[in-house]
Amino acid sequence: MNDPVHPLSIGGILLCGGKSSRMRQAKALLPFGNSTMVEHVLSTLQEIVQPIVVVTSREQQLPALQNAMIVTDDRSEKGPLEAMRVGLGRLPKSCRAAFITSCDVPLLRTAFVRYLADRLEDYDAIVPFDGKFAHPLAGIYRTAVVPTIERLISADRWRPRFLIDEVDTLRVDVEELRTVDPDLESLMNVNEPSDYQAVLRRKQK
């Protein structure tokens, strides 16, 4: 990436195609500050990475998103792995890796993204871990993992964890990430109404 405004040589992928079944309304469109949740997360990403690919499901409604490429995941019911494949595959050849996140982490911090990017080195991926639990949608993946994703999908192995275990992944303990995000707010995703209220309260502090 040559634009000096954006210091990281990686792109961003924002996944928006989830069903939001526990929230009972589209998480991407939930109000957050003066915009929607998807707009807020996109704005945070735009502070530090580019280009950004937004992956949505076929019938999903989104607000007008500026300076982002919008692509469709036709198999969103299968989970995020296909969306990851679609997003990584649409990045320009000059972009060798991307931070992947979802639209429901409105407290994402740019310092969190930078910390992971600075440690990527020659790994295929870098993913936060809390014990044995992975946070696959808060990690950085090289575009070179797309063939592995395609092979996993062909074998009907749809979980992102299969990808993490298959490629050369640097596992970063979440406690290490507290140096840049003390309360690990970048990992606080919104699945239920109570989660939404919790992040709203944190924003007001």
Ordered domains of the chain (ranges, CATH): 11-204 (3.90.550.10)
Greatest mean pLDDT among 20-29, 148-157, 187-196: 148-157
As a whole-number percent, the residues of the chain with pLDDT over 90 amount to 78
pLDDT of 4 reads 36
pLDDT of 19 reads 65
Any residues with CB less than 8 A from the CB of 10 and at least 6 apart, and which? 1, 49, 95, 96, 97, 98, 99, 117, 120, 140
Amino acid at 8: L
Cα separation, 192 vs 41, in Å, equals: 18
* Beta carbons within 10 angstroms of residue 70's beta carbon: 15
Q: Which is higher by pLDDT, 19 or 132?
A: 132
pTM (two decimals): 0.92
Which two three-digit tokens encode residue 125?
A: 């991926």
Smallest CA-to-CA distance from 109 within 192, 1, 4, 203 is with 203
What tens digit of pLDDT does each residue of 24-67 get?
Answer: 788 889 999 899 999 999 999 999 999 999 999 887 889 999 99
Which residues, in sequence order, are bridge partners of residue 197?
none
Query: Element (H or E) spanning 13, and its range?
Result: strand 11-15
